[in-house]
Structure 1
Amino acid sequence: MYSIDDKQYPCSTSLTMKYIGGKWKAVILIHLIEKKRYSELRKECKVITERTLSLQLKEMEEDGLITRTVHTSKPPLRVEYELTEFGVTLIPLLKAIAQWGTETAEKNKRIKVAE
């Protein structure tokens, strides 16, 4: 049993899913393997609404997976996101998930690759 802020997680898998679970977190995190400006992230994650992207980024920042840096030195304002040291530990897992998805898409005739 694991606990974070009085919330219980019955096993290590549920604890892991707290950090990367849901429809978009793993997608966003894999795009942040390299530091990205917010506008770059929006372009790469077109199917995610701006509100959802903002909420997920805030949640992952609170969880310590990413950092948000605001550059105000010169207009226009620039916001960048990158993985923290803790977030970097997820890279092998994220790459394994992506590889599994690629292999599954190649093997499963029902899955069509959209352009």
Structure 2
Amino acid sequence: MRKKASTNFENERFLEFNCPFITTLRFIGKRWKPAVLWKINEGIIRFNQLKKVLPYISDKMLSDTIAELESDGVIRKEIFDEIPLRVEYQLTEFGKGLLPVLEAMDQWGGKTIQEIRS
């Protein structure tokens, strides 16, 4: 966390509110966010299901990523009062707006991976 009086903080805030690329990256720019969003896009999903399809993410990183996405309004968490407790995640309408960006990244990345491998 940067000090609010620092030049870097001011620069980040300026870019975040004046540069569409930086604004987009704020919501999907960390390592695991696009993968988590892509999987949640496939339908309502639970934490353990995410862990199965993303086996290399640590529990803490997945928890932190989910918390950030929820805090940003990109996903919604629904808690069911059952034993054992059941928690499900789904995209919000706001989060669904990121799908065209993720689809473009998936297409470009898939094409690039094929080119690198050949």
Q: Per the shorter chain, which TM-score range?
A: 0.7 to 0.9
TM-score normalised per structure 2: 0.82
Aligned position for 1:107:
115
TM-score under structure 1 length normalisation: 0.84
1:37–1:79 contact (8 Å) kept in structure 2? yes
Aligned partners of 2:14, 2:31: CA distance in 1, in Å? Answer: 19
Contact 1:37 1:81 in 2 (8 A): yes
> Which residue of the other structure, out of 87, 94, 99, is the alignment partner of 2:102?
94
Matching residue within 87, 91, 105 for 1:83: 91
SS in 2 for 1:36: coil
Percent of pairs with identical residues: 36
Question: Which portions of structure 1, spanning 4 or more consecutive aligned residues, are displaced by more than 4 angstroms?
Answer: none
More strand by share: 1
Aligned length: 104
* Residue in 2 that maps onto 1:68: 77
Instruction: Extract unaligned runs of 5+ from structure 2.
Output: 1-9
Higher helix share: 2
- Structure 1 unaligned blocks of 5 or more: 1-5, 111-115
Q: Is contact 1:64–1:87 with CA below 8 Å preserved after alignment?
A: yes
Residue identity opposite 1:102 in structure 2? G
Q: How far apart in 2 are the matches of 1:53 and 1:38?
A: 8
Q: Distance between the aligned counterparts of 1:21 and 1:46, measured in 2?
A: 20
RMSD: 1.5
